[in-house]
Amino acid sequence: MTNQRKGRDFIARHGETVFNLARRMQGDHPHTPLTRAGFAQADAMGAALREILGPKPRLTMWSSSAGRALQTLAIIAEHLELDWHQAHQDDRLVEIGMGEWSGRYYADLMTEAPGFLNLEHGLYNRAPPGGEWYDGIAVRVSSWLADTDDDPGDRLVIMHGMSSRILRGVMTRLPVSPLFDAPVAPDLPQGSVVRIEGGVETVVHTGSGRHSAPA
């Protein structure tokens, strides 16, 4: 898949949620509200993006359909003086599907399924039962990219820790990792924003949240 985008893409990871704080498996769970730290991270992202883009920028807004991403976007859009209601949502931007592990506490799974978590990379060593693997994420985010190549100018995309790493890997043409069967970009804390332009990624804001695992 070759990305034909002409504008800049700002890819942001949503702020901390109650599931993150409790160290529960969140994945594609649709609605998990932000914590106070999550709101602060979204505020910081909005302020950083306003410094870069100015008020009322010409910007196409996209979000995962998960509530935490939409909540994060609401705060950022307010900073940018943009109408949140004009944002597009897409299920292909959601987080990795957790299957039978959805909602489980990481501590319990570490006892029941030791070794499932790859701490070095902040990813999983195997797919959750009935869940998704990283090559599946690569397929769906590549499909979204192909369908949105014609977006005009700059755009902002709010999504998740693991799925954003795969999207960024696809967009920057990283090699497929033999461990995870997909291109995986470097881990970044919650509340981070990168700019991708011409296949080159630059971190424009580093958030204060935790890294990818727990997702």
pLDDT digits (tens, 9 = 90+) for 155-179: 999 999 999 999 999 999 999 999 9
- Bridge partners of 177? 182
The reported pLDDT for the residue numbered 27 is: 81
Contact criterion met (CB below 8 Å) for 191 and 15: yes
* CA 81 remoteness from chain centre: 22
The reported pLDDT for the residue numbered 212 is: 63
Grouped pLDDT means (10 residues each) for the chain, 215 residues:
74 95 85 94 98 97 97 98 98 94 91 89 92 97 95 95 97 97 96 96 93 61
Residue 65, classified by CB atoms within 10 Å of its CB into exposed (0-12), middle (13-18) or buried (19+), is: middle
The DSSP secondary-structure symbol of 103 reads T
The reported pLDDT for the residue numbered 214 is: 58
Predicted model pTM: 0.94
The reported pLDDT for the residue numbered 2 is: 46
Task: Judge if the upstream peptide bond of residue 114 is cis by omega within 30 degrees of 0.
Answer: no
Quick one: what percent of the chain has pLDDT higher than 90?
Answer: 83
Contact criterion met (CB below 8 Å) for 55 and 80: yes
Q: Helices 161-171 and 134-147 meet at what angle, rounded to 10? A: 60
